[in-house]
Amino acid sequence: MATLEQAMLAGCNEIKADSIKTSHGTVMRRLSERYTCSDRDNFNKFVIEHGAVELFEGRIHQSNFKEFISERNNSLHEAGLPPGVNVMREFVITVRKPTVKLS
């Protein structure tokens, strides 16, 4: 499966397409983001300073962190991500079966 996904991703990248529809299904390319913490102590201080305890989980809570960043984009823009946080972005492939159209 990983080999097929990489081939489909390469095809989307080559023709600069976010989706390719065929009679057998639709291939969709989307950007996946994951936030990780490389310095827990500094990140903990940041969370406490901003009163943002909803960012805690056993790991960074992905959707809460993404929302936090988007809401504070202007104030954090100059500083970038909070201390101790990295972002990994990658395109991933999703394939859906074709829908049956009733006539």
Q: What is the pLDDT along the chain (103 residues), one digit of tens a residue?
A: 889 889 999 999 999 999 999 888 899 999 998 888 899 899 999 999 999 988 887 778 999 998 888 887 756 545 678 888 888 888 988 888 888 777 6
Q: How far apart are CA 82 and CA 37, in angstroms?
A: 10
What amino acid is encoded at 99 in this protein? T
User: pTM of the full predicted structure?
Assistant: 0.48
H helices present in the chain, as ranges: 2-15, 40-50, 62-71, 73-77
Hey, what are 15's tokens? 């023709």
Strand partners, 89: 33
